[in-house]
């Protein structure tokens, strides 16, 4: 499968065409000694995630985010950081409810899709989910940081970094959304129900007022 990645090292946008071969750890040019291998390796290494320029629907100023978020939350969501394994608030969290984006509050995952990612070498140490609450709630992009290929997950509303997506999850999706706890907020099931009821009541009230007019 031929993929086209747009990478932007030191402010210059370069289109690199390559044949993606998962798990080989090699660059797929015909000659193993091709100088293009070295060039592409350096471009991918220093480019990090291959994001296209996009205007996210929800925007916040840096000043506001630094005031509202903790240093860890800011580092992870805005600077694509990663918290240490097993240290996150939601790693072993089992309460029923909805996991949201800590930056903008967008709903991302249901507690019903959260699972234990295993133990030993299989235990990744971060909250794991096998499906999204809504398909469009998360944006995927190629990430070549640290000299390897991964799929980065970001909030589709504000562009906040969440974590990465892997293909070693449980059925029925086979997906594992490996997410930093610091990127998440949580809305308990009861609170979510009350919020929905309140919204419906407000909507009904507005509707009645319009009818009276």
Taken in order 147, 152, 154, 159, the sign of the CA dihedral is: positive
50 exposed, middle or buried (CB, 10 Å; 0-12, 13-18, 19+)? buried
CB 3 within 8 A of CB 27: no
What does residue 155 show for φ and ψ, rounded to 5 degrees? -65, 130
201 exposed, middle or buried (CB, 10 Å; 0-12, 13-18, 19+)? exposed
- Respond yes or no: is residue 13 known to be catalytic: no
Of the residues 50, 104, 158, 178, only one is catalytic, namely 178
**C-alpha span between 32 and 90 (Å, rounded):** 44
Q: Which two tokens stand for residue 142?
A: 């190629």
Q: Which residues, 6+ apart, have CB-to-CB distance to 159 below 8 Å?
A: 54, 56, 139
21, 51, 99, 103 from 47: Cα distances, Å = 19, 9, 30, 24
Catalytic residues: 178
């Amino acid at each position: 499968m031929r993929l086209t990645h747009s990478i932007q090292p030191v402010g210059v946008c370069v289109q690199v065409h390559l044949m993606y071969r998962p798990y080989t750890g090699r660059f797929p040019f015909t000659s193993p000694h091709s100088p293009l291998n070295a060039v592409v390796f350096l471009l991918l290494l220093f480019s990090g995630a291959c994001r296209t320029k996009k205007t996210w629907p929800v925007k916040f100023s840096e000043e506001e985010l630094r005031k509202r978020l903790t240093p860890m939350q800011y580092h992870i969501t805005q600077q694509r950081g990663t918290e240490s394994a097993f240290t996150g608030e939601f790693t072993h969290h089992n309460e029923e409810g909805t996991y949201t984006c800590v930056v903008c509050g967008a709903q991302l995952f249901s507690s019903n899709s959260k699972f234990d990612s295993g133990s030993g070498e299989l235990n990744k140490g971060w909250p794991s989910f096998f499906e999204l609450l809504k398909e469009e709630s998360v944006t995927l992009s190629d990430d070549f940081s640290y000299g390897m290929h991964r799929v980065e997950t970001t909030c589709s509303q504000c562009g906040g970094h969440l974590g990465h997506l892997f293909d070693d999850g449980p059925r029925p999706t086979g997906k594992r959304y490996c997410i930093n706890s610091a990127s998440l907020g949580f809305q308990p099931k009861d609170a979510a129900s009350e919020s929905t009821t309140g919204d419906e009541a407000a909507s009904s009230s507005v509707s009645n007022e319009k009818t009276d007019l």
